[in-house]
Amino acid sequence: MTIWSGYGRGSAALTPSDELRDARTTLLTAGLEPVQLRHGLSDAADVWFNARIGEQEDVAVVAVGGYGRRDLTPGSDLDVLLLHDNVRSVKEVADGLWYPIWDAGVALDHSVRTVDEAAAVAREDLKAMLGLLDARHVAGDPALTSRLREQALGAWRRDAKKRLPELAAAVRERAERNGELAFLLEPDLKECRGGLRDVHAMTAAAAAWVTDAPTERVRAAAGRLLDVRVVLHQRALGQGSKRPSDRLVLQEQAPVAQALGLADPDDLMREVYEAARIIAFAGDLTWRRVDAALRPPRRSRPGLFRTAAPTRRPLADGVVEQDGEVVLARDADPASDPLLLLRVAASAAQADLPVAPHTLERLADSPPMPQPWPPAALDELVALLGAGPAVVHVVEALDQAGLFARLLPEWDKVRCKPQRNAVHRFTVDRHLVEAVAEAGSLTRRVSRPDLLLLGALLHDIGKGYPGDHTEAGVEIVPVIGRRLGLDPRDIGVLMALVRHHLLLPDTATRRDIDDPATVALVTDAVRDRATLDLLHALTESDALATGPAAWGDWKAQLVDALVARAGAALAGEPPPQPELLDDAQRAVAARGELAMEVHGERVTLAAPDRPGLLWRWAGVLSLHRLAIRSATATSVGTTAVTVFEVSPRFGSPPDWSVVRADVRRAYDDALPIADALAERERAYARGGAPVVPARVLWMDDASTSATVLEVRAHDRIGLLYRLTRALADAGLDVRSARMTTLGAEVVDAFYVVDDTGALVTDPALRLRVEKALLEACRTGQ
């Protein structure tokens, strides 16, 4: 369909640049659907070039790249090759084209070459070759374009054994550099794995006649990404940007969704993620096919290269391996064997092999699983889940074929569901599968590995339902458990794992694990050691599958220590005695003087006791760009000892000799901490995003020896300094503190007593403390 057929009446009075500019403006303001606009922009450019060149002999205008595919978006470069047959006046022709385009404000990527020159460049430059594979004649002498296409395609097919591995390597390198589109909060629609460039690469591979062209499903997915890209570019140009980005940033997701007629940003991102997964899965299949096509043929007899019969290795009943893929045995019948789907999946995962596409198609004939599932079916599911990292690609294959939701209908609720949390790196469904993969390496730590794997698969299944995801999950798990054929006691354990899957990390990082009240919080929820071990392993699996910010040595040590204390309590044993200070720290305290020791990410500060040491130390560490994860204060005689767990905010540690000097100055009140922190915060201000007001909560049941209060706020440089100073100014003594950073948000817990060492119960004092803390959170905003 041609959207643009001319410039209209009176165009003869316009300059060439005006014609092009007006044509584009008309299209951009016409309210066209994205696909109409893409084609319209391409048609308008075609008409413009034909008005300049017509059917002139010995020169040709050839569209390449996105213009060649008629997929121009509002911010696309106009990729044009001017071919000529050794025409002396070609410079005048080129100037008559390029300068009006530049004057019209249109981005241009151009070259001027003979057919032989263009073909020679393409033979050496992969990017140039890929552009020529999309070459489309626009104006001038069509014979030149035909000659170029014949030479380019001939060279591409002739050199396929060299060029296709080069293209595959470029695809892999781009994916490693840009990440997976389907799982990023702010993905690049072109460059990420699963993006538009992957579709172009698959098309190029098909042009070499070694694999099939992208399917209609893949082309439709690419079309949806192009729709989003069109709207993204339109908005950017409307806001004055000259080079629109292909990155779908958070602040653009709501308006782009609205422009595309979608209910909200989550609907937009689900469509984007779904499209990316379709493309990425098809890309994996394409490159497997390319590898197989380029592999030397097998030897059927010594010294002779001939195609031998494929070897088939049995994997399970009705399941075999053939040429590195899992396929069905010749006598397997999916229509009469409901367990065959699970046997294929488990075999593929255990052997770490892909399932052949035609096998996935045949498995679509599988009948529904009997309910409740027979024990053999549950065994196969557990075998699939327990395969480690290989479970990811097998579940993805089943999911792309629409088969995984047959096994777990609730899957559709979380499929491609975004998680708008900087800590999470995956969509909900992929996070669950990644958690299962992580749990596969921890099965030797628990007495019921099957329940660990099922718990990992189901712990966030409630995120697909309204309300609190934990409560929703607890309601859904019994339904799933009965369908799987689990006995009531096992269902109860799974419900406990889902209900308490955040208990250990939240408690360990926000509470004093040596306080009996903290241990009781865990043992009241988890009443036996087997369930505690399962919850411990699930916690680690969940955190590792969330992202780098969710797990590390510090958090692992805290969770391990909490589990050790809870396990002792469940066994009726005395809890491990807390070691507030190790030998090295006691040696520092024994000096009775101001001292600082650094061991890895642990900073120990000792000094003759005086009021306000915690806020002084917190201020100095913040000044040196250190994020404080926990702080514990104690005394050895008249020496106050504070131990901090820290990490550099910007990658590299500070110069500790300078930190020591500032510690001395702060102790002597010679360091203007407040002014220095204010200046530091201005230098690194985030700005832009709205900040939800902070909250202060009193946790009266969290400890028997101190009052626990939590501050939940937006993270800022120097926040701990301001909070601890506010507490000190209110006359409270901070015995210990736990800091938890979740993306750009923090939850800081303080164990405090009043100036007599008693719990903080006076309502008037609490009110003054709350106001001071909230003001501290607002400072610098």
Give the pLDDT confidence of 759-774 residue by residue, as tens digits. Answer: 999 999 999 999 999 9
CA distance 742 to 422: 8
Looking at residue 578, its amino acid is P
Residue 558 and residue 514 in contact, taking contact as beta carbons nearer than 8 Å: no
Residue 77 and residue 109 in contact, taking contact as beta carbons nearer than 8 Å: yes
Last residue of a domain, one of 407, 440, 472: 407
CATH number of the domain that residue 49 is part of: 1.10.357.170
Asked whether residue 24 falls in the same domain as residue 137, the answer is: yes
Q: Which of 684, 762, 756 is nearest to 719 (CA)?
A: 684
CA distance 71 to 73: 6
Average pLDDT over residues 654-661: 94
Q: What is the pLDDT of the chain when averaged over all its residues?
A: 91
CA distance 148 to 64: 12
Is residue 732, in this structure, part of any structural domain at all?
yes
pLDDT for the residue numbered 9: 40
pLDDT for the residue numbered 715: 82
Asked whether residue 444 falls in the same domain as residue 554, the answer is: yes
Asked whether residue 619 falls in the same domain as residue 748, the answer is: yes
pLDDT tens column, 143-196: 999 999 999 999 999 999 999 999 999 999 999 999 999 988 899 999 999 999
Helix (H, G, I), strand (E, B) or coil at 779: coil
Q: Which of 55, 72, 59, 49 is nearest to 148 (CA)?
A: 59
Is residue 518, in this structure, part of any structural domain at all?
yes
Domain that holds residue 662: 592-778
Helix (H) / strand (E) containing 504: helix 503-510
CATH number of the domain that residue 712 is part of: 3.30.70.260
Asked whether residue 143 falls in the same domain as residue 168, the answer is: no
Is residue 587, in this structure, part of any structural domain at all?
no
Total domains, the chain: 5
Last residue of a domain, one of 294, 324, 352: 294
- Residue 721 CB partners (closer than 8 Å, separation 6+): 615, 618, 619, 622, 673, 677
Q: Which of 134, 147, 152, 130 is nearest to 85 (CA)?
A: 147
Is residue 389, in this structure, part of any structural domain at all?
yes
Q: Which of 406, 386, 409, 384 is nearest to 395 (CA)?
A: 384
What count of Cα atoms within 13 Å lies in the side-chain half-sphere of residue 601? 17
Asked whether residue 600 falls in the same domain as residue 748, the answer is: yes
Q: How confident is the model at residue 409 (pLDDT cuts 50, 70, 90)?
A: very high
pLDDT for the residue numbered 467: 93
Q: How confident is the model at residue 778 (pLDDT cuts 50, 70, 90)?
A: confident
Residue 541 token pair: 């699996």
CA distance 215 to 37: 23
CA distance 498 to 435: 13
Residue 372 token pair: 């409740």
Asked whether residue 605 falls in the same domain as residue 733, the answer is: yes
pLDDT for the residue numbered 129: 95
Peptide bond preceding 693 in cis form (omega within 30 of 0): no
Alpha helices in 90-159 (DSSP H): 90-103, 115-124, 126-133, 142-158
Is residue 436, in this structure, part of any structural domain at all?
yes
pLDDT tens column, 43-77: 999 999 999 998 888 999 999 999 999 999 999 99
- Residue 281 CB partners (closer than 8 Å, separation 6+): 396, 397, 400
Q: Does pLDDT of 684 surpass 80?
A: no
C-alpha distances in Å from residue 308, one per residue of 354, 431, 518: 22, 42, 67
Q: How confident is the model at residue 306 (pLDDT cuts 50, 70, 90)?
A: very low
pTM of the model: 0.84
CATH number of the domain that residue 224 is part of: 1.20.120.330
CA distance 414 to 399: 12
Is residue 236, in this structure, part of any structural domain at all?
yes
Asked whether residue 493 falls in the same domain as residue 521, the answer is: yes
Could you give the percent of the chain with pLDDT greater than 70? 94
Q: Does pLDDT of 308 surpass 70?
A: no
* Residue found by looking up tokens 């250190």 in the block: 626
C-alpha distances in Å from residue 636, one per residue of 583, 586, 640: 13, 8, 6
Asked whether residue 167 falls in the same domain as residue 282, the answer is: yes
pLDDT winner (highest mean) among 4-13, 254-263, 292-301? 254-263
Bridge partners (DSSP) listed for residue 751: 708, 736
Q: Which of 328, 306, 324 is nearest to 316 (CA)?
A: 328
Asked whether residue 148 falls in the same domain as residue 173, the answer is: no
Asked whether residue 150 falls in the same domain as residue 166, the answer is: no
Average pLDDT over residues 660-673: 93
Last residue of a domain, one of 110, 126, 155: 155
Asked whether residue 468 falls in the same domain as residue 565, the answer is: yes
* Cβ atoms within 10 Å, residue 249: 12
CA distance 650 to 721: 19
Asked whether residue 690 falls in the same domain as residue 622, the answer is: yes
What count of Cα atoms within 13 Å lies in the side-chain half-sphere of residue 213? 3
Q: Does pLDDT of 714 surpass 70?
A: yes
Is residue 2, in this structure, part of any structural domain at all?
no
Is residue 584, in this structure, part of any structural domain at all?
no
Q: Does pLDDT of 122 surpass 70?
A: yes
State the Cα angle at 294 between 292 and 300, rounded to 5°: 75
- Residue 50 CB partners (closer than 8 Å, separation 6+): 138, 139
CA distance 448 to 750: 37
